[in-house]
Structure 1
Amino acid sequence: MKIGVIGTGNMGTILVSSFIDSCAVIPSHLTIVNRSSEKAIKLKQQYPSLQVVKSADEVVKKSDMIFICVKPHEYFPLLKKMQSNLKQQQLIVSITSPIKVSEIESFVGCEVARAIPSITNRALSGASLVTFGSRCSEANKVKLLYLMSQISTPIETEEEITRVSSDIVSCGPAFLSYLIQQFIEGAVTETNISNEQATILATEMLIGMGKLLEKDYFSLETLQRKVTVKGGVTGEGLKVLEAETGEMFHHLIQSTHKKFEEDREGIKQQVKEESKQK
């Protein structure tokens, strides 16, 4: 199976590196292009057999499955340029949530799916969110699920919960990293521990906690109960968290969804304008 990646920003680079490092795709079967060639060339320096081309059309001609890793507003102009070279059995894979799979299907004659990765996939772990288009064949479904399973746990996701799922899976590492940094800052400010020491301890705690959950020793709920001794220090800390976090995460989800709706309005307008020009 030959894979193409259009756009080698953060997520495109993660996909390319993870596919190769997991041995899911051999470098010579991977074709990439980026608007600025520097990022693509940097990847080729790391993986010499990787094919770097100069246009999206070249990616289309060389690939069975094409991951589009550009910004949402760039999708439809790109699809218009690509559509004459796309073959019916090829699979386009979007990695963005604001654009519906059905909207992409309306612009191209080939098969369409969505696979939203996470930064955790770089460690060949974590989840990815997969949604299939209405005309996606069983063969391409199997191929995409297999490919994503080599770098993640692929979870099939309905369109209506894609945004909140992405908040948890894709944005979650940034949100939790921020909270851990605040935890470290509080420890450093209030005590004599150094930032370096606190960071090492917090990092090891996170790794250990992840392994406890991965091996199913505890759930999030039971883990909290096991650590909390009645009348102990952990309980006092939890009281502070309960009082001060309040509806923080409710507001976070409201904020991400507000931005999502703004993006959706822009996409709807773009789809309408592009449809008129067909």
Structure 2
Amino acid sequence: MEQRIGFIGLGNMGSAILQGILASETVSASQFYIYDVSSEAIESLKQKYALNVLESAKEVARESDIVFIAVKPNNVNEVLTEIQKELKKSTVVVSIAAGITLKAIEAVIGYEQKVIRVMPNTPALVNSAMCSMTPNTEVSPEELLTVRALLNCIGLTEVLPEYQVHAATGVGGSAPAFVFMFIEALADAAVKGGMSRKQAYKFAAQTVMGSAKLMLESDKHPGELKDMVCSPSGTTIEGVQVLEERAFRAAVMDAVEACINRSKNLSGEK
């Protein structure tokens, strides 16, 4: 890959994406052009990698073939306005800002600009992200593949139409919080049963991670995998009955739906 890649904003998510790509060794550090208002964020990266550290967002836009906009959503318009005149027509702008639509980005930098809207999630911090990708009509299939290859360095990707980004926000962007709550609840129950807190968290987290991996790699329906654990008159089916009585699945669906509705609201949709 020969493209020059820019990063404007190096908070948790921007830094995770950048370091995930670097760790894959598919792109050399010398191909990256970075800027962040925080000198701390820059200094920690400079100590590890021979990156090109620039003095402004404008400079990053000027130098890059692909530029990641990884600032907070409330700062996106300011950054786009600043870099608009520096972007080449061939530059692909990748936004990871939640709630900022393609139309909103195009309204600032021009409707002829190549733009890809990406919704990553926090497991990107350990290269296990689930990212949705939504290109505008200016992005070619080859350009989309190039950016997808970069994002695959930090996890899995799926290309979605923009109307499905709200669902991706609910099941991908927000859901890690629900998973952490589930892990915490599992661990609390194990502690109540006599296990140490440290052991309980390890059992709960590994069980969730292993179960997810089993589903992805076996390609079996989650219901089938659930049935495999539920022996007749066994312990698991007793627990499943309690979860059904407490409307466990309905509660999860309602939580994700609430996230979807809030995502629509933040995007200005009804």
Measured after TM superposition, the shift of residue 19 of structure 1 is 0.8
1:97–1:163 Cα contact (<8 Å) kept: no
Q: 2:132 aligns with which of 129, 134, 139?
A: 129
Q: 1:217 to 1:147 in 2, by over 3 A?
A: closer
Alignment of 1:189-204 (within 5 A): 190-204=192-206
Measured after TM superposition, the shift of residue 217 of structure 1 is 6.1
Alignment of 1:1-278 (within 5 A): 1-47=3-49, 49-109=50-110, 110-188=113-191, 190-216=192-218, 218-246=220-248, 247-265=250-268
- Residue by residue over 1:54-81, the C-alpha shift from the partner in whole angstroms, topping out at 9 and shown as x without a partner, is 2101111221101111122211121111
How many residues align? The count is 265
1:118–1:128 Cα contact (<8 Å) kept: yes
Q: 1:241 to 1:146 in 2, by over 3 A?
A: same
TM-score relative to the length of structure 1: 0.88
Measured after TM superposition, the shift of residue 127 of structure 1 is 2.6
Measured after TM superposition, the shift of residue 100 of structure 1 is 1.3
Following TM superposition, the consecutive aligned residue runs of length 4 or more in structure 1 with deviations greater than 6 angstroms are none
Percent pairwise identity? 28
Q: Which amino acid aligns with 2:61?
A: V
Q: Which runs of 5+ in 1 are unaligned?
A: 269-278
Q: Hey, what's the Cα distance between the residues in 2 that align with 1:82 and 1:197?
A: 50
Q: Which runs of 5+ in 2 are unaligned?
A: none
Q: 1:232 to 1:5 in 2, by over 3 A?
A: same
- Residue by residue over 1:29-86, the C-alpha shift from the partner in whole angstroms, topping out at 9 and shown as x without a partner, is 1122112221121122222x02222210111122110111112221112111111111
2:76–2:97 Cα contact (<8 Å) kept: no
Q: Which SS does the other structure have where 1:173 is aligned?
A: helix
Q: Which SS does the other structure have where 2:267 is aligned?
A: helix
2:6–2:32 Cα contact (<8 Å) kept: yes
- Residue by residue over 1:98-139, the C-alpha shift from the partner in whole angstroms, topping out at 9 and shown as x without a partner, is 111122122214211112222333443443111111211333
Measured after TM superposition, the shift of residue 245 of structure 1 is 3.8
Q: Which SS does the other structure have where 2:68 is aligned?
A: strand
Q: Hey, what's the Cα distance between the residues in 1 that align with 2:83 and 2:6?
A: 13
1:5–1:31 Cα contact (<8 Å) kept: yes
Q: 1:126 to 1:82 in 2, by over 3 A?
A: closer
Q: 1:76 to 1:217 in 2, by over 3 A?
A: closer
Q: Could you tell which deviates more after superposition, 115-124 or 176-185? A: 115-124
